[in-house]
Amino acid sequence: MVISGRDRKKSKIKNVIFLTLTIMLSLVVVTSVYAYFEYKQGVKEAMELTDKLDIPNEEVEFKGVEDSIGNVNILLLGVDARGSESSRSDTIMIFQYEPETGTSKIVSIMRDTYVEIPGYNKQKINAAHALGGAELVRETIKENFDIDVQYYATIDFSGFSHLIDTTFPDGIQVEVENEMSKNIGLTLYPGAQKLNGKELLGYVRFRHDSQNDFGRVERQQEVMSQIADEVTSIKGITKIPNMIGTIQPFINTNIDNQTIMSVGTEFVSDDTNIENLRIPIDGSFTSKTYDGVGEVLDPDLKENREVLQKFLNQNPA
C-alpha cells in the first residue's frame, strides 16, 4: 500500500500532538508527586517541633460565609495562649485575596475598639476571642461592620516565633525605628536588620512608645508585607507545598489544603503589593474610659463600616 504525502503529514501531526499531550501529562504527574512529597516533608519537620512545644490543635466551630463575588476573606488572629479560655486576641486582621485581579489587602482592627459583642454587651473587640473564640470574633465583626469572612487562622505567639524560624531561617528584614525593650523579653536596637522569630515577635508586639498601639499595628502590617516579599522573592512557587506543610501544624484554621495550595500559588505568581487599612480610621473615634472596661477607642461605626465595606468590595443589601 502506497502512503500519500498528505497521509504522512497527517500522521506526523498526530504523532506531534500525542507526544505533546504525553509530555504535558507527565509534567502534571511529576509536579503533583513533587508537591505531595514536599508538603509531607514540611509537615513532618514541623510536627517534630510542635510535639516538643506541645502546641494543641483544638476543634473550632466557625460558621464562615463565602464571599459573594469570589474573593477569599480570612480572619487572622494572634492570641496570647492558644487553647486558654481567657486568651484575648492581641492581633485581629482580615486578609483578602482577589483571584481575578491578584490584589491582596489587609485590614487591622485595633484591639481596643469599643464594639457590641453579641450576647455580652459593649466591650473591647479583643475580648470576643476570650468569650467565644474565633466564631464570636467573626460574629462581632459581622454585627458591627456587616463584613462576612469565610475562613479563620489562629496562631499563638510561641507558634509564630517558631513558624518564622522554621520557614525563614535567615530571618525577616525590617527597619527598627527606635530602641525597643519594655515587655518584649529582649532589646532591639535601631537600624535595618534581619530578625529571627523571637525578635520579630517582640517587634510586632512592642507598643511602649509615643505611637503605642497605632505604631504596633503599623509594624504588624509592615511585617506581613515583608513576609509576602520573602515568599515571592526567595521561596518561589516550587517551595509553596513545603511551606504549607511547615506552617500548618503551628496554626488552627478551617482552610482546606486545596484552597491553601491554590491561593498560595496564585499569590506567589502575582504582584505582592498589599493594600492596608486600619480600623478605626483617623478622625473617626474618640478615646474614652469606661468602668470595668478601661481605656477604649470609641468609633463612629457608621463611618468605619462604610470605609471597610468599600475597601473589601462588600456592599451588603
Each residue's pLDDT tens digit in the chain (317 positions)?
A: 555 556 556 666 666 666 666 655 554 444 444 344 454 555 555 555 555 555 555 567 899 999 888 899 999 999 876 445 458 888 999 999 988 888 889 999 999 999 999 999 999 999 999 999 999 999 999 999 999 999 999 988 877 888 888 778 899 999 999 999 998 889 999 999 999 999 999 999 898 888 888 998 999 999 988 888 877 765 555 566 666 666 777 788 898 877 876 776 666 666 667 899 999 999 999 999 999 899 999 999 999 999 999 999 875 54
Residue 48 amino acid letter: E
Report the C-alpha gap between 258 and 149 in whole angstroms. 18
HSE at residue 274, side-chain half, CA atoms within 13 A, is: 23
Fold classification of 39-311 (topology level): Aminopeptidase (3.40.630)
Dihedrals phi, psi of 68, to nearest 5 degrees: -70, -20
∠ CA 91-51-202 to the nearest 5 degrees? 30
Which residues have CB under 8 Å from 116's CB, separation 6+? 122, 140, 143, 144
pLDDT at 317: 45
Q: Where are the domains of the chain?
A: 39-311
Q: Find cell 530602641 and name the residue.
A: 179
> Which pLDDT score is estimated for 50?
52
Give the DSSP letter of residue 218.
H
* Whether 272 contacts 232, CB under 8 Å: yes
- 239: its cell numbers: 517551595
What pLDDT does 6 receive? 61
Amino acid found at 226 = Q
Predicted local distance difference test score (pLDDT) of residue 28: 44
Query: In this predicted structure, what is the pLDDT of residue 4?
Result: 58
Assigned C-alpha cell, 233: 522573592
Q: Looking at residue 9, what is its pLDDT?
A: 60
> Which three three-digit cell numbers place residue 205?
508586639
Q: What dihedral angle (degrees, nearest 10) is formed by the CA atoms of 47, 57, 244, 270?
A: -160
Note whether 174 and 195 are within 8 A (CB).
yes
- Angle CA 213–177–208, to nearest 5: 35
The beta strand positions in the chain, using DSSP E, are 72-79, 89-98, 103-109, 114-116, 122-124, 151-156, 172-176, 191-195, 252-253, 274-279, 285-290, 294-299
Cβ atoms of 47 and 166 within 8 Å: the answer is no
What local confidence, expressed as pLDDT, does residue 10 receive? 61
pTM of the model: 0.79
